[in-house]
Homo-oligomer: A and B are copies of this chain.
Amino acid sequence: MTELRRKPSTLKQVAASAGVSTATVSRVISGNGIVSKKLLKRVQNAIDTLDYHPNQAARRLRHMSTKIVGVAISDIQNPFFSTLVEGIESVLQENRYLLLLGNSNENMERERQHLNTFLSERVSGVIFNSTGDDIAYYEKFRLAGVPLVAVDRKPNKLDVDLIQLANEKAAFDAVNHFFMEGHRRIGLIAGPSTVSTGSERCAGYQRALQASGLPIDQELIQTGDFRLTGGYQAMRSLLDLPEPPSAVLVSNNLMTLGALQMIHERGLSIPDQISLIGFDDMPWAASLRPPLTVIAQPVYEMGIAAAHLVLDRIKEPEGPIRQITFETKLIVRASCRCAKLFYPKVTKDEQNL
């Protein structure tokens, strides 16, 4: 109980205990070089009895390669990012890389500090979702030759490897789905136009309207901040319009939650009084009532791809920039008018919902 902290055993101790040189032990551990069966066994015994675990700090100092990937994201609480991290981590662990997580919570100051940490830790690569602003800082990594991979959001001026979504097309398709159902007055809860996901989704929405010969009504486009309250307020603005939309596309998951709260507060029924499609298929989307029609993103796969991209780039620093775009899938549930086609089973109680 009142035990002193026992220092971890060192390679030197293992060598002494096995009666061999430190070089031999090192060869056994790394698997490089040839060691006779006899010594191999003796060394392995010593490792086990001493419960030896190689000191990573010392190894890194020697070979100047850390096998650490820094992941800088803006909000780990958003399921989108936690799934992304999950995907990244699975690949990194397979490849015996360490994941250093920097969660900035949308705070520039914290993000900076994380990037400094990455620099100090000499990370082998960085995966990040840029706020779009702080590009100068990321430039440091490029200068230092540290591979950078952007996910989800496309940085403004920085040419880097990129994993992104076919945002424009996804929004275009969703709006067309609304058309198919007979909607003509369609609202958009947009994200900040400064980030690519925000502007591209808005562009897709606009193109769909134009393609159908409908005018673009600016008051039908309400911008939120990608957070819950943003969606809440934007939906209020839409509902307060003299002629509110009959269908609304929401640009991300958190804003969808906010929009739903507002709709419930007003006592409006979905989809009869208002139809809804949201970006991101979250675990809760199917548990809502009615279950939510969503644009599903292959988030986990995007994480995996990002990790592969950064590992490839670490192995092969040269070579053309790679930008991978993932397609989305519209998962039709019951929050738009075709609800009845897909969910015919409703009880009497629900008929007039």
Q: Which residues of A contact B (CB under 8 A)?
A: 2-8, 51, 53-58, 60-61, 64, 66, 76-77, 79, 82-83, 85-86, 89-90, 93, 98-101, 103, 105, 110, 113-114, 116-117, 119-122, 140, 143-146, 228, 254, 256-258, 260-261, 264, 267-269, 282-284, 286-289, 291, 317-318, 345-347, 349-350, 352-353
Contacts and interface: CB of A to CB of B under 8 A. Distances in A.
A234 to B, nearest CB: 15
A77 B80 CA distance: 9
A120 B76 contact: no
A287 B264 contact: yes
A101 B89 contact: yes
B82 A76 contact: yes
A109 to B, nearest CB: 10
Contacts of A2: 318
B257 A3 contact: no
7 contacts: A8-B144, A55-B61, A56-B122, A93-B113, A101-B101, A267-B347, A352-B352
Nearest to A265: B345
Given A86-B77, A98-B117, A349-B352, A57 B51 contact: no
Contacts of A64: 7
Enumerate the 3 nearest inter-chain pairs by beta-carbon distance, A residue then B residue, closest first.
A5-B145, A267-B347, A57-B60
A54 B101 contact: no
Nearest to A89: B103
A236 to B, nearest CB: 15
Nearest to A4: B145
Contacts of A60: 57
B61 A86 contact: no
Contacts of A101: 85, 89, 99, 101
Given A66-B57, A267-B345, A353-B353, A317 B89 contact: no
Nearest to A77: B82
A267 to B, nearest CB: 4
Contact of A122 (B55, B122, B286, B318): B55
Given A61-B55, A288-B288, A353-B353, A257 B283 contact: yes
Contact of A287 (B260, B283, B291): B260
Contacts of A8: 119, 122, 144
B66 A77 contact: no
Contacts of A53: 116, 119-120
A277 to B, nearest CB: 15
Given A55-B122, A110-B93, A120-B53, A76 B66 contact: no
A119 B55 CA distance: 8
